[in-house]
A and B are shown apart, each in its own frame.
Chain A
Amino acid sequence: MAEIRIKNLHKAFGDFIAVRDSSFTVANGEFFVMLGPSGCGKTTTLRMIAGLELPTSGQIMLGSEDVTFYRAAKRDIAFVFQLFALYPHMNVRQNIAYPLKSEGVSRAQIKDRVEETARLLRIDDILDSPVSGLSGGDRQRVALGRAIVRRPKVFLMDEPLGALDAEFRALMCDELRGLHNRLGATTVYVTHDQIEAMSMADKIAVMNNGSIEQFGSPQEIYDRPTSTFVAEFIGSPPMNLLSFHAGLRKGRKTVKLSNSSIAVPELRESVAPSELLLGIRPEHVRFDDAARLRGRIMSTEYLGSTQIISLSTSHGPLKARLPAEIAAKTGDNVGLTLMGERLSIFDRATGRAVQTALYETVPHA
């Protein structure tokens, strides 16, 4: 049982607050991703869980044990760094066996555990080769092997794929997730890459300026961002934000942009007249010549099955993802419809999402 409970965790370096009063729980066996731009506090949080850094205040529970002030070695965890150093004078087998040797495990047991680990990682065929000749991917697998072989309660990973090139990163994402499915160990993973987060996580915490902006499943965070920060951080291209001015009464189901009335999920709160933003994902935009909301095509990017069309509207720029066969010429003026049930509304000043029927299941941060 290795549930991680973080309570009011706070960390200050002098005047700088790295982590601001965070609380969250990582369930046993969960793949948990902390996602955010550099300097948002995700790595500091991870290092506090690892015991490489002590919190200013707050509590870290590993299972039923309070480990807040334990030394790193006393917490049953494995840490995978971005730059994985392998011992160059040892072969793959010796590298993987190394953590066990220092724990005084018997030879026969070491052999069994190393071979089992190698099978899990599908590197059993290179066990006796020297590490110097290995490809980047195999080196990464050996480094993971060294973390896995100890069978810790928790894996902590600090951008382990950051040093790999993009092509290989996608492959390792699949592999890491597959490995997690086989091992079932609680994993906390830190990254700034939303694609890594979306494709691997059970739960994501989006962090910004030391605070958790939103906590939820990838789909929840993608479909129902609770702030403009999350809306713009997730998605490629990110969520479009069209600006408009309105006061909205609770229970309304439309908003007015230019002269067109656009259906939105039913409002669950009233909004005083103010500057608002209408959030729409690129794939929820459709072309419709009859529509009153108009846009001018600025550029198109052909991606094979789909294309990304950049438009300019009287409410700001807009990107649409549409099937590649739809004709779109730069300079054309087109009508746009937006998929009403998928829209979000944000307060421009605070960045907070307005409560609507779509957000009913999402707890506000």
Chain B
Amino acid sequence: MIGGSKTAHSIVEPTPLAKRVSGVIIVIYALITMVPLAWIFATGFKTPSDSISYPPKILFEPSLEGYVNLFTTRTRQTPEYMATLPPPTTWYDELVRSRKMVIAGPSKFGERFTNSIIIGFGSTFLSVFLGTLAAYGFSRFKVPLKDDLLFFILSTRMMPPIAVAIPIFLMYRNLGLSDTHLGMILLYTAVNISLAVWLLKGFMDEIPREYEEAAMIDGYTRLQAFRKVVLPQAMTGIASTAIFCLIFAWNEYAFALLLTSGTAQTAPPFIPTIIGEGGLDWPAVAAGATIFLIPVLVFTILLRKHLLRGITFGAVRK
């Protein structure tokens, strides 16, 4: 009689030991990948001097200075002037004054962050909306030159942004789209739509057309059938496509740096420009990066159950 533990388990199902071992490996891997994130998170709570000390400080006294610096602009004043001021009314006033400075006003971070939200979610909505309709069309109808069109759509993604940056810059300047929300939304939509069409076409192809046919015979128009029957079933695909589109638009740096400078500037080109005394204000940059992570994180967690299916799209059949 040969080996194997005498436990009642399926061989295709892992044994408890295997589950535990793989669990440990996953945790170790996760910890390693989380080091940079943890570092940014921690740096956000350091003082500027702690943040650049060498060797790096693992243990430090937490401070909210980074966050205060992120949201405010400050001016340095003489001790004489400081003495004339009334006592500080808030904790952040106090913190700033301890550095011999006073708060001059709010920083631009709030605006830039709002821009990121408008442009990121706006372009995601537009890409997914147009992509869904286009994917349905490509999936269901005889479109002349269908394959060529699909290839053409994808080709917009083949060029590195820097290759098309100059023509787009000139084009936008002439059209008055430079540094506008609309301009950035259109640009990100143009880049994302190829991804959206290709991903969503895969999902649409998997939905049997009998569903719409049945609805059309039952007295619905094609558009109604699309809305009531196809859309609910494509939700998984739409959700995961939306995540991919948002991640791209949210993190995009090159176009944003080139085409925006004021009104429509997004957070990515803004954050690294936060200057403190004597160079970059690392705690403020880290604080900005931490806050910047939150919306994508929340969005991804909300749509998490769709994401796995989205990543393996087409590969898994019911």
Which residues does A use to contact B, with CB under 8 Å? 11-12, 47, 51-56, 66, 68-72
- Contact call B11/A55, Cβ cutoff below 8 A: no
Min distance, Cβ B86 to any Cβ of chain A, angstroms = 71
Secondary structure type dominating chain B contacts:
loop
24 residue pairs of the A-B complex, CB under 8 angstroms, read A11-B8, A12-B8, A51-B11, A52-B10, A52-B11, A52-B12, A53-B10, A53-B11, A54-B4, A54-B7, A54-B8, A54-B9, A54-B10, A54-B11, A55-B8, A56-B8, A66-B2, A68-B1, A69-B3, A69-B4, A70-B2, A70-B4, A71-B11, A72-B11
Residues of chain B lying within 8 A (CB to CB) of residue A70: 2, 4
Min distance, Cβ B14 to any Cβ of chain A, angstroms = 12
A-B pairs with the 3 shortest C-beta distances?
A69-B4, A56-B8, A53-B10
B142 at the interface (CB under 8 A from A): no
Beta-carbon nearest neighbor of B12 in chain A: A52
| Separation of A55 and B11 alpha carbons in the complex (Å) | 10
| Separation of A92 and B12 alpha carbons in the complex (Å) | 29
Residues of chain B lying within 8 A (CB to CB) of residue A11: 8
Which residues does B use to contact A, with CB under 8 Å? 1-4, 6-12
Residues of chain A lying within 8 A (CB to CB) of residue B9: 54
Beta-carbon nearest neighbor of A69 in chain B: B4
Min distance, Cβ A215 to any Cβ of chain B, angstroms = 25
Min distance, Cβ A114 to any Cβ of chain B, angstroms = 28
Residues of chain A lying within 8 A (CB to CB) of residue B10: 47, 52-54
Residues of chain A lying within 8 A (CB to CB) of residue B7: 54
Residues of chain A lying within 8 A (CB to CB) of residue B2: 66, 69-70
| Separation of A71 and B4 alpha carbons in the complex (Å) | 9
| Separation of A158 and B174 alpha carbons in the complex (Å) | 68
| Separation of A47 and B2 alpha carbons in the complex (Å) | 19
Residues of chain B lying within 8 A (CB to CB) of residue A66: 1-2
Residues of chain A lying within 8 A (CB to CB) of residue B1: 66, 68-69
Min distance, Cβ A161 to any Cβ of chain B, angstroms = 20
| Separation of A148 and B51 alpha carbons in the complex (Å) | 68
Min distance, Cβ B149 to any Cβ of chain A, angstroms = 24
Beta-carbon nearest neighbor of B9 in chain A: A54
- Contact call B6/A69, Cβ cutoff below 8 A: yes
Residues of chain A lying within 8 A (CB to CB) of residue B6: 69
Beta-carbon nearest neighbor of B6 in chain A: A69
Beta-carbon nearest neighbor of A72 in chain B: B11
| Separation of A53 and B2 alpha carbons in the complex (Å) | 16
Residues of chain B lying within 8 A (CB to CB) of residue A71: 11
| Separation of A145 and B191 alpha carbons in the complex (Å) | 48
